Amino acid sequence: MSTDDASGSVANRLLDIQIERRIRLVFAFVAVVGFAVVFRFALNLVGFSVVEIFRFREPFIAALKQFFPGFPLIDVTQYWAFIQERNLILSIENGRIVPGAMFVTFAMGLAGTILGLPGALLLGVLGSERVMPYPLNFVFRGTMSIIRAIPALVWALIYIPLGGVSPFTATLAIGTDTMGNLGRLFTDALEEVEDGPIEAIQSTGASAPQRVVFGMLSQVLTPFIAWTMYILEINTRVAVTMGLIGGGGLGAVLTAQRGLFKYTNMMATIVVIFLLVVSVEIVSQRVRSYIRGDTDSASLIQLIVEFPQRMARSAFK
């Protein structure tokens, strides 16, 4: 190749690079403009206004002072007085321990998880293509998708004719939601099992159910436990949001105090919610870390910092 040809090739390459850069810049500009337009549309659709924030800042600040009485030296005795008055944690009556609203909330999350576990296992196994041939497995995958598409709060409203808005219907809604969410996680785990143990079981003349139980489920027992503990975390937070529509527990107390504009009592309830959710998460994180042999687990500080985001996500999980 001559010097002129080499120079021409380099020049063409540089020109191509410049054209690619300009195209990327154009696409980046269009993406930024498109994002700005969509963001502005979203703000207009929800009626967001900075002016409204400044207009109502004084009532908001006044409410914050009630959330934190005595700020900056917060009078926690007012929180404790309400916690005892409404039995948010537990009390002793006639020598008998009476569980409070916190344990009702935890019971809804725990019972809902356990009730939904068999259905999740069944749908998860039958939804795997390695167990049920295509396209039959999509019947069960579709069932899980339909369940997951409907938020737990909506399931609670669907179950109202069974027993009104109560801890019973809230627990049933959590159980239904668990079938969809946990079942899908089970299906994904089964898709990644190794063929060796399955073929070994099959070579012994084992039946199809035996191949599933001893060849597949035995490989994913640890992930199954880990995912179940993770769903328990989510369901505990969902149980709180169930109370916001009258499902009982801490959420119901919080809604009642909000209606009375008792912001100090609301904050006391939020503190108990915080203690419950973080306690469940710490136990769940440690159990999952132990069974996975994972030393890089979330710290207490991380759990505290990310608590509001997880509560918000769980509301429509």
> Which residue stretches of 3-100 are H helix?
3-46, 50-55, 57-67, 76-85
Which is more confidently placed, 100 or 163? 100
Give the number of other Cβ atoms within 10 Å of residue 191's Cβ.
12
3-state secondary structure of 128: coil
Query: Residue 296 — pLDDT band, cuts 50, 70, 90?
Result: low
Give the span between the Cα atoms of 165 and 174, in whole angstroms.
13
Is residue 246's pLDDT more than 60? yes
* 71 located within any domain: no
Q: Tell the burial category of 66 from Cβ atoms under 10 Å away from its Cβ (0-12, 13-18, 19+).
A: middle
Residues 117 and 232 in one domain: yes
Residues 28 and 109 in one domain: no
Compute the half-sphere exposure of residue 244: CA atoms within 13 Å on the CB side of its CA.
17
* 53 located within any domain: no
Q: Which residues contact 114 (CB under 8 A, 6 or more apart)?
A: 175
Which is more confidently placed, 52 or 212? 52
Residues 113 and 200 in one domain: yes
pTM of the predicted structure, to 2 decimals: 0.78
* 238 located within any domain: yes
Sole residue written with tokens 């959330």: 67
Give the span between the Cα atoms of 124 and 228, in whole angstroms.
13
Residues 142 and 284 in one domain: yes
Judge whether 69 and 264 are in contact, CB under 8 Å: yes
Number of domain units in the chain: 2
3-state secondary structure of 90: strand
Mean pLDDT of 66-87: 87
Query: Residue 234 — pLDDT band, cuts 50, 70, 90?
Result: very high
Residues 44 and 131 in one domain: no
Residues 114 and 21 in one domain: no
* 82 located within any domain: no
* 89 located within any domain: no
Give the DSSP letter of residue 211: I
Token reading at 147: 């369940």
**CATH number of the structural domain spanning residue 200:** 1.10.3720.10
Is residue 271's pLDDT more than 90? yes
Question: In sequence order, what E strands does 134-214 have?
Answer: none
* 158 located within any domain: yes
Residues 259 and 127 in one domain: yes
Element (H, E) at 70: none
Residues 33 and 157 in one domain: no
Instruction: Tell me the residue range of the domain where 243 lies.
Output: 99-315
Tell me the pLDDT of the chain averaged across its residues: 84
Give the DSSP letter of residue 297: P
Residues 235 and 138 in one domain: yes
pLDDT value of residue 209: 74
Residues 145 and 244 in one domain: yes
pLDDT value of residue 80: 92
Token reading at 86: 């409404």
Mean pLDDT of 83-100: 85
Token reading at 110: 């725990």
> DSSP assignment of 215-264, as one string?
IIITTSHHHHHHHHHHHHHHHHHHHHHHHTTT-SSHHHHHHHHHHTT-HH
Residues 125 and 10 in one domain: no
Q: At what angle do helices 250-259 and 101-126 cross, to 10 degrees?
A: 130
* 85 located within any domain: no
* 74 located within any domain: no
Mean pLDDT of 155-183: 91
Of 105, 251, 243, 104, the residue nearest 165 (C-alpha): 243
Residues 115 and 227 in one domain: yes
- How do strand 96-99 and strand 90-93 relate by DSSP bridges? antiparallel
Give the number of other Cβ atoms within 10 Å of residue 261's Cβ.
10
Judge whether 138 and 128 are in contact, CB under 8 Å: no
Give the number of other Cβ atoms within 10 Å of residue 40's Cβ.
11
